[in-house]
């Protein structure tokens, strides 16, 4: 079964899809797709996929993330994507190490559950915010916690999402926004949350070297989900209702 692909489940069979388009309707969204890939018995993949329903459930994925909520109004759409704990190669700019140059290095860093909220406004422009959790989302009332990444002032990620804004479909915008998030070069701008976590958050590594070292251990998942992240004072519902645009 391929990674980062959408699937449709119907009558116990999981179908790999292609040509996926997420279209707006008066009552919400309609998903159109071609069934052009392999077929799998649902019972064979159930243990690998977390689902909220069995029949006719569409599961789009983005770099390992799954859509957990969609909210819309006449002026915006917001989509929440959850990533399970993982180790990612993150590009860190030299300014994070006190070196004034344009050099960057990629380091393997462990992450807890990452909650990525993407907003498209009425002009089609994309913006995003990111939060953490140590457990998977199970309720709209679940609290969110601030991410420890720089280039982030809590309410919004300070990244260039213009390439995502140029995509013609919502699925395209989401995929591009996720790619920008995981593949940007992070620098020392707006690093208050990073510095605050390194100095004050319970069990947080004190520097990148320690973070990388613990991320390479077999116990990396226990390590990263034991950190006492700073509360964002937002629930899932409140994050979906909150304007992200600058």
Q: What is the pLDDT of residues 75-84, one digit of tens each?
A: 999 999 999 9
Q: How far apart are CA 228 and CA 134, in angstroms?
A: 9
Mean pLDDT, the chain, rounded, equals: 80
Mean pLDDT for 37-64 is 48
The yes-or-no verdict on residue 162 having pLDDT over 50 is: yes
Q: What is the Cα–Cα distance from 96 to 99, expressed in whole angstroms?
A: 7
State the pTM of this model.
0.75
pLDDT, tens digit, 9 for 90 and up, residues 185-232: 888 776 777 777 778 889 998 888 889 999 999 999 999 999 999 999
Starting at the earlier edge strand, list the strands of the sheet with 231-235.
61-62, 65-72, 76-83, 113-121, 126-133, 143-146, 231-235
| pLDDT for res 23 | 67
pLDDT band at 8 (very low <50, low <70, confident <90, very high): low
* 70 within 8 A of 30, measured Cβ to Cβ: no
């Amino acid at each position: 079964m391929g990674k980062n692909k959408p699937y449709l489940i119907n009558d116990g069979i999981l179908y790999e899809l292609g040509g996926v388009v997420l279209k707006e309707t008066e009552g919400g969204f309609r998903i159109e797709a071609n069934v052009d890939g392999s077929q799998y018995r649902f019972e064979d993949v159930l243990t690998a996929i977390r689902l909220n329903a069995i029949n006719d459930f569409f599961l789009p994925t983005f770099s390992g993330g799954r859509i957990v909520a969609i909210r819309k109004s006449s002026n915006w759409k917001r989509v929440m994507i959850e990533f399970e704990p993982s180790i990612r190669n993150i590009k860190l700019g030299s300014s994070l190490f006190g070196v004034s140059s344009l050099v960057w290095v990629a380091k393997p860093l462990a992450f807890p559950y990452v909650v990525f909220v993407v907003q498209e406004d009425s002009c089609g422009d994309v913006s995003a915010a990111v939060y953490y959790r140590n457990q998977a989302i199970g309720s709209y009332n679940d609290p969110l916690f601030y991410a420890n990444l720089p280039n982030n002032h809590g309410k919004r990620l300070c990244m260039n999402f213009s390439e995502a804004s140029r995509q013609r479909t919502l699925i395209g915008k989401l995929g591009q926004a996720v790619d920008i998030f995981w593949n940007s070069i992070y620098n020392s701008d707006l690093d208050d949350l990073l510095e605050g976590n390194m100095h004050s958050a319970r069990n947080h590594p004190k520097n990148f070297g320690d973070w990388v070292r613990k991320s390479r251990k077999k116990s990396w998942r226990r390590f990263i989900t034991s950190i006492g992240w700073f509360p964002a004072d937002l629930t899932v519902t409140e994050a979906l209702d909150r304007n992200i645009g600058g």
